[in-house]
Amino acid sequence: MYYSVCISAVFGGKTIEEALAAVRTAGFDYYEFWGWQGLDAAKGLKILQEQLQQI
């Protein structure tokens, strides 16, 4: 089982950059969200690609 953090619920007031950084800082490798509204999907994908290169 993999645990994930719902960035919409836990980091709702943060930008996607801040939320994904906070997910990593909290020790999680996975995240989820409730909807695309208000999210910059292209920016989120770029951040994820950068994080994968660091692994």
What's the whole-number average pLDDT of the chain? 84
The count of C-alpha atoms lying within 13 angstroms of the C-alpha of 38, restricted to the half-sphere facing its C-beta, is: 12
Domain ranges of the chain: 4-54
Q: Are 50 and 21 in contact (CB under 8 A)?
A: no
pLDDT at 55: 61
DSSP assigned state of 6: E
Higher pLDDT, 35 or 34: 34
Selected residue with higher pLDDT from 35 and 26:
26
3-class DSSP assignment, residue 4: strand
